[in-house]
Structure 1
Amino acid sequence: MSRILNRSKAHRPVAITLTALAMSMSTALHAQQAPPATASEWGGIGLLQTPTARMAEDGDIAFTASHNSPYSRYNLTLQPFPWLEASFRYINVSNIRYGTDIAGNQNYKDKSIDFKVRLWEETRWLPDVSFGVRDIGGTGFFSSEYLVANKRFGPVDASVGLATGYIGNRGDFSNPLGAIDDKYKDRRPIANSDITQAGRFGLSNMFKGPVGIFGGVTWQTPLDALLVKVEYDGNDYKREPRRNNLTQNTPVNVGLVYVPNKNVELTAAWERGDAAMFSLTLRGNPGHASAAPKPFDPPPVRVGDPDARVGGEAVSRQVATAPGTATATGTTTEAGQPREQADWGAIASALRSNAGIKVDSISRRDGELFIDGYQTDYMSAAKGLGRAGRILSNSLGDEYDWYTVRSTRLGMPIADMSVSRQALEGYLDGSVSEDVLRRSTELEAPSVISRDVLYRAPSDPFNGGFSVGYRQNLGGPDGFILYQVAANYSASYFFRPNVWLSGTASVDLFNNYDKFKYDAPSRLPRVRTDLRQYMTTSDVVLPNLQFNTAGRLGRDTYGLAYVGYLEWMYAGVGGELLYRPMGESWAIGANLNWVKQRDYDQHFGLRDYSVTTGHATFYYSFDAKERIVGSLSLGRYLAGDYGATLNIARAFDNGVTMGAYATKTDVSAAEFGEGSFDKGIYFSIPFDIVLPRSTRGRANINWNPLIRDGGAMLSRRYQLYNVTSERDERFFYDNLKSIDD
């Protein structure tokens, strides 16, 4: 420690801090609780500037904003699996401008993508070990590859790592891969004014250049909410992007982290010996979140409650005539006693208000009662089935052995969800186990059978409603965030259950797209980059107005055709076919469309550009412990380019999804422009998790770093794979417990 103190006066505060830290640790090891995994200023789990091998819990989403002059970083970090972390970032560089010819005095902004993969978990003797890459999908200005290990010692979590690139820019020793090939000895510098490489994965530079050492410790202080971080930074800041080199008086950074609860982290640090850093992290775990309490939902009825019967008196069980024979008023009970005709209209009303099922018809076949309709309120189909079973048991007694809810969407039967009345009643009163209930529940493809219709709902062809729309683009040279907030009214009119007209009218409330001046050069037809004109030409627009017809073409085959103003930029005609076999993890579909570009005002006029576009798509669900759903689409895009889109997502049991996609077409990186190819990430969170009333709505957040013309797909309003989602057997059975809610 004396050697450190003698180097320079700039080192003294750091030395004193380290000495005090060591003395405190020696006297406070009684606090054996390991420190929690917290964010670095780069968003992922780490120390301050450097990553660690630790991971957040799977399902975690975190937003981190940090400032360390001249950099302000805004990071979104997803943890879709226990072993995978992904971060997406915008960096605002306060002392560099884009250039007056591009964006006036706007600060330069950089975009990047990171990922980290755990190679193995910590054991008694072995550390946690992770491999990661920083800035793999951005400009590459901050690109780096690293291997890092962590080991806990009571209240201390220590890390040490090796890095090539930005994190290891100090270059403590030459790259050992240079013994294999000289190309690994040096790392090609990225031209400070060249952004043509932006968006490429930068594989040609990976693992190249000298290796830097980094690491440090996190100490859980005796105060539960307070952590201390000390790190040795592997970067010397002598090769910063855009020649923006910084002074580093010491490679040791020291920080305090205040964690008042599991959702908030506040960090203050002293870095490089002369710079303050502050960061705020907001964290949540929607992937494993339970639905919020539902005080505004109607309570489920109790089986056997005489006050919960719908339409009619209690069912008599006195012997009279032969069971099941017809009478003037209806049917006889199982015991043969004539019973009062059920009030099916009242039952349908109760099913709608309490079970969330909008009933189209009620029918019977032998001892099975069918409810044809669709779920409007509950995310879990099993929850609606359980509530429906309660209502039917109270109203019909033991007249039926099975209840089947036939889910219909757009006039097409999707799936039959059936439950044994006796198993359901037994499960609800505690006499039947979940295993027995599971064996007494079925999810099957709807079969064509003869049924006696007991009730048909009156026609109700119109539905509509208001909503608030939000659109944004982040990190462009015209402003960090460009946004629009609009008031929307969407409606549909059904001429028949499977033939309907749908549309949306939108009124702009406020936006700042008038700042959007930089279109960026394009060597392709401007199929998406005319964004500014579409957003600013008119305050009242018609984003969608189309005529549709749908049909079930076979046991597992569905079709859809449509014509009209299909989305805000395109009008045309098209269709889709989907083959989705029941009980299988895969499906295959295809769509074909002829479209023409719309006028900028989004009214009824059309521009000259037209194209035939469409894709064949293979869907697959990997039903492992951590469920992965994916799709691969092959076809022609809006700019006439041909290629493929790969989409991979983690689907959680509660309906939350986290995913990423990438599109590569026959358009070269030079023709595509900045970004090189289309890519993005997204997550989708059901509102049911946070709202006090059940809903099937969800928030869909899509992050696309750049708007470009290559790899652009038509945004179709209806997609058959989503329409047929109730064929998802795993989601149904994973949520079977909700039948008790």
Structure 2
Amino acid sequence: MQRVILATTSALALMAGNIGSAQDALTNYSLFGTPGLLEMPTAQSAPEGTLAGSLAYQDGLFRATATFQLTPRLSASARYSIVDLYDSPTTEIDEGAFERSFDLQYRLNNEGTYLPAFAIGIRDAFTPGRFASEYIVASKSIGDNLIVTGGIGWGAMGLRDGFDNPFSDLGDRPVFDDAESEGQLGSDLWFRGDAAAFGGLSYQINDKWGLVAEYSSIDYPVATGRPALEADSPYNFGVTYRPRPGTQLSLASLYGSEIALSGTFTLNANDRPAMSGLEKAPAPVNARSAAQLREDTWDRDTAPPAGLRAAMEALLDIEGLTLRGLDVTDSTARIRYSNSRYRSHAQAMGRVARMMTQVMPPSVETFILEPEARGIPLSSVTIRRSDLERLENRPGAAEQLLNSVEIEDAAMRGPIQNRIAVEERFRWGLGPYLTIDPFSSDGSIAVDAGLSLSASYTITPRTVLSGVITQSVLPADKDDPSPDTDDIPNVRTDGGAYGDDGVPVLQRLTLASYGRPATDLYSRVTVGYLERMYGGVSTELLWKPVDSRLGLGAELNYAVQRDSDMAFGFDEFDYDVVTGHVSAYYDLGNGYHTQLDVGRYLAGDWGATLSIDREYENGVRVGAYVTQTEISYDDFGDGSFNKGVQISIPQDFITGQPNRGSYGTTIRTRVGDGGARLNVGGRLYGFVRDAHQGDLTDTWGRFWR
């Protein structure tokens, strides 16, 4: 043990005498999917906004990890593991136990000329935490290629050659209890018990190849509930290969007897993997001549309003936009349109405004643009035509134009003639689907794939009938519905019993109507088979001024549990409930958005859900949520309460082509009956906010694209 401490101290002393910067070097990812050596952490941080997905395998252990660099110094990780466990202090082993964990690391300082970077971290922060560890670690660059790391760990990192806790006032560490309720914050463990030293080196040979060596302080003693791994030696060695930027492949020799493989794939939300601007260039601004600028009216016989409308409709169709209404006077043109192509409403506005300069008579100086969604106008943006002509192709044009436009509520301007083209009333699509639920209601991994048939019929611009039918090609043996407990009905834990007959099922069939009751107000009423488990009625009212960071909403639902065959019946469970929430939404700025929902959930429990999201200018969104209700930890079961991490990546971020679609996933604890909500489509705030001042301002740089 003295040799280990001496080696670590010598390494730290060596760090202090050399110039370098570990935080600027290539970030090495460990087998835990976090910045680190092989098993041990480092004080490195990836660039802010980096999202890393990692897969690692060794005999008896598989890990899948998502790590996000929330700020330049703070990172968070969510991990799924499949691990063999000792089920008794003998050699009996349970294979394939499913684990979930959550990590946090904060880098305390930037590396200096002589001072290493220090970081403090928690691995597997929730109980029971089979790999639960806390650590303080330092890393220092030596030259451009070598990084030396040393640290002290507790918990699983304090099992090999441990010594007395330097923070002795914190007391002993509680004994690991496999039966402890899963998912509660393990703060009673943090930095308690014996500690141990660890350290290592990483050397980057060139841009592609690197070497890693470490002394690991993790041990795996034979004990009930412990991972069935044997660490005969503390020394681990590995080689890393980066075939392309954003990809790290690793091969490691562990404990002197095991081989491990891992792959880590990263993207940065501040960058774009595909080239931007792959969409077709917009039409140029058609500048008026000096003589045309003096005109104060236009000849309706030469340019009839119907002709202007037809021309605008054709030009917008080229851009993937749909004309919904057009009013033209001698000096003003007011246009309403829907945008189904561009993620940024500002970019769509730029395209519409350019087209208007091509079509509108010269006397029209004022353009009023009104984007709409689901038949309701979202905002009204007034632009002077002369500003478009003056600023096109000038440096700083986007900022100058933004300072001159007026953004208001479209409802203040009253109705505008709307119509729906006959060919747009009915739409349908057929395609494959794949769902992977690592935390299904019974705690297992649920995989489903098949075909999905969707269709919609637009009755009026604000009223839509839509539905989805799916046919699974991976029928699975699912548990029958279980009886309700005395304290909480099975509002979600019976989800695995739904749609297991091998026949097509009705996922959803709804009639939805949207409205604008008054200025700053938006409404929704949805009736039918709302989701796979429930039908009924869902109503919503949202107050959201176009220029305000704050939004307030209320939702009230009456839900009836559907039959498990997912046909048209409601008789099997005889369960109905009135559920609803009041919600507050706030834009904190810099891409941060918060939402607080307070109310009654599907099981009749009362509580609240807090969500916070970080949305980048490229549309990448990473967020977390937590729900706590009056249901006790014991009644809820594994997970203790609902919590999770949500990741959404827009399609145009990957392809570079304009598209409003996105790829998303939720990494959560096991589905439980407490804190469960209806999965109703078309909730208001998401699409209303997109065209309001905050989001328009954030993406206004795309106006000229």
Q: TM-score, normalised by structure 1?
A: 0.85
Is residue 2:159 matched to residue 1:187? no
Number of the residue aligned with 1:16: none
Of 151, 163, 166, 1:173 maps to: 163
Question: Distance in 1 between the 2:617 and 2:689 partners?
Answer: 14
Q: Is the 8 A contact 1:506 1:541 kept in 2?
A: yes
SS in 1 for 2:493: coil
One-letter identity of the residue aligned with 2:307: D
In the aligned structure 2, how far is the partner of 1:254 from the partner of 1:318? 76
Structure 1 residue aligned with 2:283, among 293, 298, 301? 301
Match of 2:117 in 1: 128
Tell me if 1:643 matches 2:607: yes
Superposed displacement of residue 294, structure 1: 6.3
1:78 aligns with 2:62: no
User: Residue 125 and residue 420 in structure 1: after superposition, are their counterparts in 2 closer, same or farther (change >3 A)?
Assistant: farther
- The farther-off stretch of 431-440 and 375-384 is 431-440
Equivalent residue for 1:335?
A: none
Say which SS state the counterpart of residue 343 (structure 1) adopts.
Answer: helix
Pairwise mapping of residues 233-272 of structure 1 onto structure 2 (< 5 A)?
Answer: 233-238=216-221, 242-244=225-227, 246-272=229-255
State the distance in 2 between where 1:452 and 1:245 align. 69
Change (3 A) 1:87 1:138: farther
2:526 paired with 1:562 = yes
Give the distance between the partners of 1:632 and 1:212, measured in 2 at CA.
Answer: 42
- Contact map agreement 2:128 2:177 (CA 8 A) in 1: no
- Say if 2:686 is the partner of 1:722: yes
Letter of the 1:144 partner, please give it: S
| Mapped partners of 2:383, 2:686: distance in 1 | 24
- Map 1:389-408; keep pairs closer than 5 Å: 389-396=353-360, 398-408=362-372
Match of 1:527 in 2: 491
**Post-superposition CA distance 1:196-236 (Å, at most 9, x none):** 42111112222211122222221122x33111112221223
C-alpha separation in 1, matches of 2:23 and 2:129: 39
Distance 1:54 1:31 in 2: 9
Tell me, in whole angstroms, the C-alpha distance in 2 between the residues paired with 1:87 and 1:444. 41
Rounded to whole Å, the distance in 1 between the matches of 2:516 and 2:440 is 45
Structure 2: which amino acid aligns with 1:405? L
Aligned-residue CA RMSD (Å): 3.3
Q: What percentage of residue pairs aligned between the two structures are identical?
A: 31
Pick from 285, 293, 298: which aligns with 2:268? 285
Structure 1 pair 316–424 and aligned structure 2 pair: CA distance change class (3 A) = closer
- 1:3-46: CA deviations, max 9, x gaps? 99xxxxxxxxxxxxxxxx9xxx9xxx999997411110001110
Does the CA contact (< 8 Å) of 1:45 and 1:54 recur in 2?
yes
Residue by residue over 1:256-281, the C-alpha shift from the partner in whole angstroms, topping out at 9 and shown as x without a partner, is: 11122222212122222332222222
Cα deviation, 1:549-581, whole Å, max 9, x if unaligned, reads 221122211111222111110011121111112
Alpha-carbon shift at residue 709 of structure 1 (Å): 1.1
User: Which of 421, 430, 433 is matched with 1:466 structurally?
Assistant: 430
What's the counterpart of residue 352 of structure 1? 316
Aligned-partner SS, 1:113: strand
- Aligned residue pairs: how many? 683
Equivalent residues of 1:287, 1:657 under 8 A apart: no
Matches within 5 A, 1:372-451: 372-396=336-360, 398-430=362-394, 433-449=397-413
| Cα deviations by residue, 1:166-212 (Å, 9 ceiling, x for unpaired) | 1222363322332x3xxx332112234x2x42111112222211122
Are 1:513 and 2:503 an aligned pair?
no
User: 1:99-133: per-residue Cα shift (whole Å, max 9, x none)?
Assistant: xxxxx985222221112122332233433222211
Three-state SS of the structure 2 residue aligned to 1:658 is strand
Pairing partner for 1:704 from 650, 668, 676: 668
Helix, strand or coil for the counterpart of 1:81?
Answer: coil
Structure label with greater radius of gyration: 1
Which amino acid letter does the alignment assign opposite residue 37 of structure 1?
A: T
Which position in structure 2 is the counterpart of 1:9? Answer: none
1:149 aligns with 2:141: no
Q: Tell me which residue corresponds to 1:334.
A: none
Distance 1:450 1:725, change over 3 A: closer
Q: How far apart, CA to CA, are the structure 2 residues paired with 1:360 and 1:495? A: 15
Q: 1:489 to 1:344 in 2, by over 3 A?
A: farther
How far, CA to CA, are the matches of 1:683 and 1:512 in structure 2?
Answer: 28
**Conserved 8 A contact 2:478-2:500:** no
CA distance in 1, matches of 2:426, 2:440: 42
Q: Deviations over 1:488-540 (max 9, x none)?
A: 233332332223322222222x2253266897996621111112221313521
| 3-state SS, counterpart of residue 531 of structure 2 | coil
Show the counterpart of 1:200.
Answer: 184
Question: Does the aligned pair in 1 maintain the 2:51–2:67 contact within 8 Å?
Answer: yes
One-letter code of the match for 1:39? Y
Instruction: Report the Cα distance in structure 1 between the residues aligned to 2:292 and 2:122, rounded to whole angstroms.
Output: 76
| Equivalent residues of 2:651, 2:662 under 8 A apart | yes
Distance 1:67 1:447, change over 3 A: closer
Cα distance in structure 2, aligned partners of 1:82 and 1:445: 37
* AA at the equivalent of 1:300: P
Note the residue ranges of structure 1 that are not aligned, 5 or more in a row: 5-20, 99-103, 306-313, 331-338
Aligned to 1:213: 197
Deviation at 1:342, TM superposition (A): 7.0
Rounded to whole Å, the distance in 2 between the matches of 1:397 and 1:582 is: 30
Asked if structure 2 preserves the Cα contact closer than 8 Å seen for 1:482 and 1:512, the reply is no
Counterpart selection for 1:623 from 585, 589, 602:
589
- Return the alpha-carbon distance in structure 2 between the equivalents of residues 30 and 500 of structure 1: 61
Whole-angstrom distance in 1 between the partners of 2:499 and 2:344: 37
Give the secondary-structure state (helix, strand or coil) at the position aligned to 2:412: coil
Distance in 2 between residues matched to 1:432 and 1:213, nearest whole Å: 54
Match of 1:549 in 2: 513
CA distance in 1, matches of 2:536, 2:557: 7
Check 1:479–1:707 CA distance in 2 against 1; reply closer, same or farther (3 A cut): closer
Matched, 1:46 2:36: yes
Indicate which of 88, 98, 101 corresponds to 1:112: 101
Preserved contact between residue 265 and residue 282 of structure 1 (Cα < 8 Å):
yes
The one-letter amino acid paired with 1:618 is A
Question: How many angstroms apart in 1 are the aligned matches of 2:82 and 2:484?
Answer: 23
Q: Secondary structure at the match of 1:116?
A: strand
SS of alignment partner, residue 724 of structure 1:
helix
Change in Cα spacing, 1:477 to 1:543, as seen in structure 2 (3 Å) is: closer
Q: Within 2, Cα distance between the matches of 1:642 and 1:452?
A: 43
> Could you say if the C-alpha distance between residues 521 and 220 of structure 1 is closer, same or farther in structure 2, counting changes exceeding 3 Å?
farther
Q: Please say if residues 291 and 689 of structure 1, whose CA atoms lie closer than 8 Å, have aligned partners that are also in contact.
A: yes
State the distance in 1 between where 2:209 and 2:191 align. Answer: 36
Give the TM-score normalised by structure 2.
Answer: 0.89
Paired with 2:414 and 2:60, the residues of 1 have a C-alpha distance of 73
AA aligned opposite 1:324: D
CA contact (8 A) 1:672 1:708 kept: yes
Q: How does 1:3-22 map to 2 (within 5 A)?
A: none
Distance change >3 Å, CA 55–CA 144, structure 1 → 2 = same
What is the match of residue 92 of structure 1?
82
Q: Corresponding residue for 2:301?
A: 329
SS at match of 2:604: coil
Residues 1:160 and 2:150 aligned together: yes
